[in-house]
């Protein structure tokens, strides 16, 4: 089990909350876990703890703290609206600076990886393309990937998309990314929708989540 603490942004000195967990057994590296639009909720907490159980020191930044410290939201219409509002009002460069502060906090102990879901999937792709120092990245169903498909990753990165995701056209995203970056693997999970790694019963597709995580582990192990 991890715990909450504070970390200072390198961009503006703001102290934001992070949820951080120490690795179980031999340390395989560090991983920055980037939230969905719902904040550092129970699902992200469990995901950080899961990464720690797999041997990674894991840390998740609370990216809306400048607007609403400690924000979390349910997966209902009100929560969705609040999360989208915060995501859209948070400058991407600001969010990436907080992600980079998390990377720096882990860097002295070895390689650092990045993984993110939904909002965090978009930020993972942007972090892999715009930030230095990550060893590899794994992006899950990020809605901004297609619009930024012409960017070039600075580290190995893979993408995960659900065929049944009504908001993200999987084939179009894959075509756009591979038109500019043919070496980037884009995996489409035929039975999965948006948020298939989230443990919410209405979103989770366990088989797809397990396969995506194994592909991510293999990427990190080889980076």
Q: Which residues are catalytic?
A: 118, 165, 194
Beta strands 15-21 and 56-61: pairing type? antiparallel
* Inter-residue contact 154 to 126 (CB < 8 Å): no
Q: Which helix (H) or strand (E) holds 59?
A: strand 56-61
Residue recorded with tokens 């899950």: 140
* Inter-residue contact 39 to 64 (CB < 8 Å): yes
Q: Which of 1, 7, 54 is nearest to 30 (CA)?
A: 54
Q: How far apart are the first and last CA of the chain?
A: 26
């Amino acid at each position: 089990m991890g715990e909450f603490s504070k970390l200072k942004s390198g961009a503006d000195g703001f102290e934001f909350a992070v949820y951080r967990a120490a690795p179980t057994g031999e340390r395989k590296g560090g991983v920055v876990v980037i939230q969905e639009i719902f904040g550092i909720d129970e699902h992200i907490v469990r995901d950080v703890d899961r990464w720690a159980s797999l041997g990674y020191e894991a840390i998740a930044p609370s990216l809306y703290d400048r607007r609403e410290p400690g924000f979390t939201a349910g997966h209902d219409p009100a929560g969705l609206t609040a999360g989208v509002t915060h995501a859209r009002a948070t400058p991407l460069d600001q969010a990436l600076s907080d992600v980079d502060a998390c990377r720096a906090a882990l860097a002295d102990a070895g390689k650092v990886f990045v993984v993110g879901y939904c909002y965090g999937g978009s930020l993972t792709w942007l972090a892999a393309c715009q930030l230095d120092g990550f060893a590899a990245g794994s992006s899950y169903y990020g809605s901004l990937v297609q619009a930024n498909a012409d960017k070039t990753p600075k580290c190995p990165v893979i993408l995960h998309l659900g065929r049944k995701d009504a908001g993200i056209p999987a084939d179009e995203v894959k075509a756009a990314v591979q038109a500019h970056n043919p070496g980037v693997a884009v995996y489409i999970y035929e039975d999965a929708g948006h948020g298939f790694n989230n443990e919410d019963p209405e979103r989770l597709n366990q088989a797809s989540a397990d396969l995506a995580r194994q592909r991510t582990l293999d990427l990190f192990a080889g980076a």
